[in-house]
Amino acid sequence: MNPKIVKMDVFPVAGYDSMLMSLSGAHSPYFTRNIVILEDDLGHQGIGEIHGGEYTCQQLKSYIPHVVGQEITNYRNVVKNLRNLNQKANEDTGEGIQSLDLNQLKFVVQSETAVECALLDLVGKFVNLPLASLLGDGIQREEVEFLGYLFYISDAEKTDLPYLKNDDLTDDWGKIRRNPTLTPEAIVAQAQAAKKRYGFKNLKLKGGVLTGKEEMEAVKALSEAFPDSRINIDPNGAWSLAEATQLVNDYRQYLTYVEDPCGPEGGFSSREITTWFKNATFCPVATNMIATNWKQFYHAASLKSVDIILADPHFWGLNGSIRMAQILNDWGLTWGSHSNNHFDITLATYAHVAAAAPGKITPVDTHYIWQDGQELCDNSPKIRDGKIKISDKPGLGIEINMARLMEAHELYNSIAPIYRDRHDEIGMRYLIPDWQFDSSKPALVR
């Protein structure tokens, strides 16, 4: 008999963050996620993690009667049925996040992915195979390379918000990840500290904060400090077509590729604008903004807008992300995965999905280095020499630590409701009074 689900729990949780900067503003002192725990009638637990917020939490809770009682090996039908339950919300404009409107992010996230992951974790334990073995054509690589994700950081001392301080003084990374970082020299120091702890060989800078020229000077400094590394930048579409073209042509020798350089402009979508950018620069383009579902991907592929699809499993589902990887490999394009702030369940999930992605993939994003030390699981994966080695343990290869989970759940319940969703303008208004998000204006350029 196949095991059946006897229990499903949903835990909204919170963790701590630095005052990281992006086009959308400043990260709050807290980030939130939703954790799903499934239990089968053999006593095994399966776990999954997805973006935070009450909208996603309520979706997950609505799934419970449709999951409990199901056989774990019927997971494909279970996930399909959950996906069909989701009706388009009135606030969903259909624009996705091509202009980085965080109010639309929750509609891009596929909440049923947390259940899919937990089910696959259980199936792996049932058949005694790692989760990656259950995806696509199975394990394609034993180690997965991750990149060092660098951020500009504002001075949290200019706020009265409860940002972490002095939580990890064990090495340079623990110290530097809470400090103001707004110059090329400081970005290089951040990269050196991250490389020393994690061994990253490739680096990505989150842009959309300062002027494009200032940010490209930081890219140049990184390239000169790490001549053997692949360097890329993600301004989240903050640059106009003219600016992006000029910047990339001027600094092309320092860049491996650029991620989402341009936003919508002059009545044209980001997909159309990015096609013109590529024609003008011949620079490879990655995206997690203009191809976040299959219909968007159809147009992006038709226009040849992008070379690298960062197919975040939370946007595409685990099997959907692998389906994308297979298509990209067949077409001679490149697969990768985008990241948001997350706990170690997502880190393990990313590693397994990337391990099953065919072809030559790009190093995977992760924010986890900014949350390192806030693990929810035992046996959490470790980034060493810039890579995660895929465990031969069944499922995800990690086990939830209920004491830590409940601490994170209690933190979520204790924080003000405004922090339960992404509101990156809160911290910004301590720096610039009445600051408002503008997709065409970098956060500190006002």
- Alpha carbon 68 to its chain centroid, in Å, reads 29
Amino acid at 31: F
424-443 as b/e: b if 16+ CB within 10 A: bbbbbebbeeebebebbebb
Report how far residue 67's alpha carbon sits from residue 440's, in angstroms, rounded to the nearest whole number: 43
Report how far residue 85's alpha carbon sits from residue 336's, in angstroms, rounded to the nearest whole number: 29
Residues contacting residue 4 through CB under 8 Å, at least 6 positions apart: 40, 41, 69, 70, 71, 72
Report how far residue 427's alpha carbon sits from residue 346's, in angstroms, rounded to the nearest whole number: 26
Instruction: Say how many Å lie between the first and final Cα of the chain, rounded.
Output: 63
From the candidates 125, 278, 314, 338, give the one annotated as an active-site residue: 338
Hey, which residues does 286 pair with through a beta bridge? 259, 308
Q: Token digits for 401?
A: 């630590």
Amino acid at 19: M
Torsion sign across C-alpha atoms 416, 419, 421, 424: positive
Query: ∠ CA 415-416-417 to the nearest 5 degrees?
Result: 115
Report how many helices (DSSP H) and strands (DSSP E) the chain contains, helices first.
16, 16
From the candidates 44, 51, 195, 206, give the one annotated as an active-site residue: 206
Strands (E), 174-322: 202-206, 230-234, 257-259, 285-287, 308-310
What is the full DSSP assignment across 189-229? Answer: HHHHHHHHHH--SEEEEE-SSS-HHHHHHHHHHHHHH-TTS
Q: 405 and 35 in contact (C-beta within 8 Å)?
A: yes
Phi, psi of 351 (to 5 degrees): -60, -45
352 is catalytic: no
* Long-range contact pairs involving 371-375 (C-beta distance under 8 Å, separation at least 24): 371/15, 371/16, 371/17, 371/31, 371/341, 371/342, 371/343, 372/168, 373/167, 373/168, 374/15, 374/16, 374/343, 374/408, 375/343, 375/344, 375/401, 375/404
299 is catalytic: no
For the annotated catalytic residues, the residue numbers are: 206, 338
